[in-house]
Each structure stands twice: as C-alpha cells, then as structure tokens.
Structure 1
C-alpha cells in the first residue's frame, strides 16, 4: 500500500489543533457553521466537517485510494443498513461492468437517475455520496419512487491518470446504456458531477458538434448515433466553469467552505493534453450561450432543472451567472442560506450515514433538510 503524501501527513499531524479550536469556538463564540447554517446543531457535526475540510486540503492524487474505496465496494459496506432492504435490485450491474450499477431498480420504473459524483474530477466515489443517494430515493414520495430507478457511475478520475474526455466518454456510454434499456434518463450530479451532467446533455442534444469535438480523441470507441437529450436535470452545487469558477463573492464569508480557490487548478488538470479554448463548450459553461449551446436541450426549453447552490460557497458567482444567462423558465433555483459547497453530500448526509440515520431515512424524516427536501419535492413533480 502506498504511503500518504507529506502534505496529508502534515494535515493529520495538525488535526488535533483543528479539533481543539472548533470545540472551543462551539462552546464560547459559536463556529462559522453554527453562526450561518442551522444544520450544524451538534459539536459532532462541526468537528466532522471542520476536520474533513482540514484533511481534504492536504490530499494529493496519490492519496485518493487511501481515503476512498471503489463505488462497488460500498454496496457490501451498506448492505445491512435498514434502508437497503427496501431497494429492489440493489447492487446489480446495469451491464456487465462494476463501474455502472443499480442502487435501486423498481420493477416497471420508466425513469432512471444517472448519478455522477463530485470530486473535482480528481477523487473517486465517496461513501457519503453513496449514502446520500440512498437518501435521495427515500426523499421521493413512496408511491412515485416506484417509477424511479437510480444507477450510479464510478467514472475514471484524474488521480488515476485519466483526463478529458475520458469522463465524458464513460458518462455518455452509461447514459446510452440506460436509454437502450428503455429508461428516460435524468442526469444528476454534484460539483464536478454537475459539470459532467451538463456535458452529457450537450453531447446528446448536439451530435454534430459532439462528433466534431470528440472524434479526434481516437483512443475511445465513440458512438455518435442519435440519442434523446434529457428532459430533466438535477444539479447540486454544480462546477459550471472549471477554469476560474471559484472566486471570492463580494460580501460573503467563505470561511469553512468545502473547497478552496485552488480548485481551479483541478480544472486545468482535468483537461491535461487538450487546448482549453477548443474544449470549452463541453467544460467551461459560463462561456456558452443559450442560443448556441442549450436551445436544443429539452431540459432548458420545456423541461425542468433543479439547480441548488450554497450561499457561502466559492463557486457561487459562476453558478449564479450561469443560471441568470441560461434560465428561460425551466430552472428551479434554490440557494441554501449559509450553505457551503456540496452541503447535501458534506453536511446533510451526516444524519443519514448511520444505521439510526438510515432508519430515519426510511421514515422520511430527512425530507426536512434543505437539500433532500428540495430534491424530493422536485422529483415528485417530475414523476
């Protein structure tokens, strides 16, 4: 097994200071989290997030496999959770590949979420994301969710030496496989997964442009035959512009956000070997226009898009610009007050990711949370 990087070891060594500082703040002045987001209602949550953010700053590509496992391994880890017994076809492969599997597939379901995880295109599928997607299915009305399957893709990441357009190739392939099985596919992604979901939507809606863009990448077996573009998208804290998406937002306290300004460098890493200007229409969406790049995507025309972001996240400026320019009446845009980046899978999930939490999920108690409630309500309206 590889040893942790010196950067990560340094963060591990200084973690006790973060724990002490957060504990003192919690009891004396309040932490930046308790002062801004009611979800931080316990010392444990504050310590969990503060420590996770501290350690995340030290993680380098070589550390990715030390702190995260493969998506498929999580099916075994969670199989005894109370919520899992209610998930038909849990853990079955969509096709004969471990990288694309069913979290849940009710018999007769006509719609399927294709979940694309976040992580800056650098880090693999996280267990918090796995638990969070269980929460998503149970956030939907008990009758309506019988028409909703969820497939999850463990796409390749840059920490394993896989760069643009590998992730788009794998996501489009998974999308096509679900379409071929008769599903209306709902791409759902958080952070970088939101960027990837938008790329999939553009690929399907603009096949000629997709062929011109991707056919030069001859290491991949591309298929450019017609593909129905999505009517529905779910975008959680989307990373809509990978170049300069992270920036200080005037008047906002970004202390304790889950990402740093350095996330922009992960955007550079993602397109290693490609020219940014050439790939921008499938990567940096603040530079696109509705008329030229989205007018053929049904979700942007007469469908529906759930668009959630946090008040305190560093991506807020680029996220708001994208919604302002591209929303022609199909966006359900929700800003979480006091929210940090990807709070659904960083904060809200803390009350879900345990046996007791999963029992509460089955009872639907997590719908009271900002993000799970918003996702459940939105999906109810689309089923």
Structure 2
C-alpha cells in the first residue's frame, strides 16, 4: 500500500494566524502556560497521590486540561500536528519498534481521500485483506486534531485483536474537519461519506463497527441517528442489516454542565465546567441546530431523543458505552444507557464504568503507549464480535 493522498486535504492544513495572534500565542506560551502547567500539574499530582491513582495518567490529564483551558482552538491547531501529520509520525515510530514482518505489513501508509467532503480515511491495518473494519472517530472537543495515541490504541485494541483471533481487521480512521473553520453538519457529512465508502468497498454492515471517544463518540451517535433519520445534507445510507456494533468512549452527548459528575469532578478531570462551556459556545457559534420532530440538536443526543432512538436496532446490534468514575462526562454516558434500557430498543447495550478513571482512559493509555486496563477491556469486547 502507498500514500494515495498527494495533495493534502484542507482539514490537514494548519490555520494561518495573524501577526497579532502570533504575538499573543508567544506571550501565552512564555508567560501563562508554564505557570498554569505548574499549578494544575501540582494539584493533579497531589490528587493522584491522595487517592492512590496512576500518576503518569493524571499528569497527562493536567497537560490536556491546560492546553484546552489556556489556548484558543486556532492556537491549539497551530501548536499540534494535524491528524495526517500525527498518523505519519505514529507509523514511522511504530515501524521502527515492530520487528515482526507480518505485523509491519499492516503498518503501511494508506490514505484514502474523500474529495467530495474534503476529508480522508487514514488506514491502520490492511484494508484490502480485512474481513472486519472499525470506523474510528477521534475525540478532542472538535478543536484538537488526532494524536499518535489515538492510532496506538486503535492498533492495540482492534488490529492486534484481529491478529490474535485470526481475523484480519483494519481501522478506517476519519480525518474530519475541526472548528472553528468547519461548520456543522460537516463532521456528520464526512462520517457518513466514510461509511458509504466502506460499504462500496464490499464490507457488509455485519462486518462494520463504528465508534469514537469523547467528541468522536458524539459523531458516532449522530451517524447512527442519520442512518435511521437521514440528515438532508449528508449522504443517505441504506443498510441491508444493522451494523455489527458501536462503541462510545467517554462520550460528549450534551451541553449541560450541572449534573453531579460535573460538580464532583470539575477540579480533577482533564475537562472542566469552564472548558466544556467554552467548547459548547464555540460549537453553538458554528453549528446549525438541525432539529428532529421531537426537538433537540443533532449534536446533543441526550436532548434529541425522538422516535429515532426507538429504531436504533435497525442501525446497530450492540452498543458499548464506557465512562470513567472520576470524569465530568460520566453521567451523560450513564444517562444514554439508562434511556436505551428503558426504551427496550432491542440493541444489546453494555455500560462499563471504571471507578478510578478520568476522561478518555482508553486514549490516554494509547498516548502513554501502554496496553492498560481500558485497552484490555476493549480488546475482550471486540474479540467477542469476531
């Protein structure tokens, strides 16, 4: 396989900051961010020590909290590598570390453009030999590009599970557009286009798993909604049978910030009430609030509980929701599971809560390049599908 994307997609190009924006960014980097990192890092270290929690994971949480709470979306996208750049960097590092030649064959750069929606699929694994495929939608509050840790956890949980189960698995990693440059329903339109490409490539719905973390979990729910109740601006998807499964890792499902999990964990999670309010304001500025018959915005599944939820079993067979017991978004994932259970949709819903985890433990383990408890649990669930 080879890199088929000779011309970068617009969503892989960094923002062009004005002179004033550059001066401000330098000032924040030199005089604000270091102090914030020291203060938040010390607080999170103390919290981890007091509660006998994983120190590296909580220091990582502190870093992400400072990044999201100190810099604007355009500044974050300037500082961080794009999703495509992160993909290339991860592949190069992984190829150096992996000695098994059969595994190295699954680490070839393979970028499939989706020109109609100005996006692309970044493949992890061999899509030409795959019998099962995972459409992965990354998190980051719609402002952060994907990082190497996303590809690492996808490799560990899905591709390696396939190798261990003698079933070839590939991950179709969507590079979607970020706010504030992209307006809704851009991300849904790109996700729908990616799923259409998988179906055109010959994958049956029973061979496809869809999922994502945080904001990516939000897009995954929007995609399931779209399958049942088509959005006028996204490619229509006609399934002959439900998708094999879907998963939501620490999903962002509502803009409310007053639930008990927000109030209890505001000071010790990588996300905070202030950060979520900021992300929600940015989303509201750039989202067209498409409303279903029952009301509610498409990007807020907990508020958009129309008739489509009762038909969820026509879109997917199984749904796995994972949350951290110490994260602000915990109540949202739990509320979705409770709602689906009450509706008796016919979908096999699994809710898992790790009592010591903060937000997005699955990806945090990938960033730290470790196969931890979240990855192991995801592997066990995924292997049960193969």
Give the distance between the partners of 1:67 and 1:246, measured in 2 at CA: 31
Confirm or deny that 1:292 pairs with 2:310.
no
Confirm or deny that 1:370 pairs with 2:368.
no
Q: How does 1:242-281 map to 2 (within 5 A)?
A: 243-244=255-256, 247-249=259-261, 252-262=264-274, 263-271=276-284, 272=286, 274-275=288-289, 277=291, 280=296
Q: Which residue of 1 aligns with 2:368?
A: 351
Give the distance between the partners of 1:376 and 1:125, measured in 2 at CA: 21
Q: Which residue of 2 aligns with 1:189?
A: 212
State the secondary structure of the residue aligned to 1:158.
Answer: coil
Query: Displacement, 1:370?
Result: 2.1
Instruction: Please point out which of 119, 130, 133 is paired with 1:109.
Output: 130
Query: Displacement, 1:24?
Result: 6.4
Query: Displacement, 1:270?
Result: 2.7
Q: Which residue of 1 aligns with 2:110?
A: 92
Q: Which residue of 2 aligns with 1:341?
A: 359
Q: How does 1:167-316 map to 2 (within 5 A)?
A: 167-183=187-203, 184-204=207-227, 206=228, 209-210=229-230, 214-215=231-232, 217=233, 222-224=234-236, 226-228=238-240, 229-241=242-254, 243-244=255-256, 247-249=259-261, 252-262=264-274, 263-271=276-284, 272=286, 274-275=288-289, 277=291, 280=296, 282-289=298-305, 292-298=307-313, 303-316=317-330
Give the distance between the partners of 2:120 and 2:128, measured in 1 at CA: 22
Query: Aligned pair in 2 of structure 1 residues 193, 121: CA closer, same or farther (>3 Å)?
Result: same
Greater shift after overlay, 252-261 or 307-316? Answer: 252-261
Query: Displacement, 1:76?
Result: 2.7
Q: Which residue of 1 aligns with 2:80?
A: 68
State the secondary structure of the residue aligned to 1:296.
Answer: helix
Greater shift after overlay, 135-144 or 195-204? Answer: 135-144
With normalisation by structure 2, the TM-score equals: 0.78
Greater shift after overlay, 1-10 or 311-320? Answer: 1-10
Confirm or deny that 1:380 pairs with 2:372.
no
Query: Aligned pair in 2 of structure 1 residues 20, 58: CA closer, same or farther (>3 Å)?
Result: closer
Q: Which residue of 2 aligns with 1:363?
A: none
Instruction: Please point out which of 54, 64, 67 is paired with 1:52.
Output: 64
Number of matched pairs: 347
What runs of 5+ residues in structure 2 fail to find an aligned partner? 1-15
Query: Aligned pair in 2 of structure 1 residues 284, 168: CA closer, same or farther (>3 Å)?
Result: same
Query: Displacement, 1:22?
Result: 6.9
Q: How does 1:146-157 map to 2 (within 5 A)?
A: 146-157=167-178
Give the distance between the partners of 2:250 and 2:288, measured in 1 at CA: 25
Query: Aligned pair in 2 of structure 1 residues 376, 5: CA closer, same or farther (>3 Å)?
Result: farther
State the secondary structure of the residue aligned to 1:99.
Answer: strand
Can you list the C-alpha shifts for 1:127-178, whole angstroms capped at 9, x where unaligned? 332333222235526332633210101101113x211111100000001101
Q: Which residue of 2 aligns with 1:123?
A: 144
Confirm or deny that 1:318 pairs with 2:332.
yes
Say whether the 8 Å CA contact 1:299–1:330 is kept in structure 2.
Answer: no
With normalisation by structure 1, the TM-score equals: 0.79
Give the distance between the partners of 2:299 and 2:323, measured in 1 at CA: 19
Query: Aligned pair in 2 of structure 1 residues 62, 25: CA closer, same or farther (>3 Å)?
Result: closer
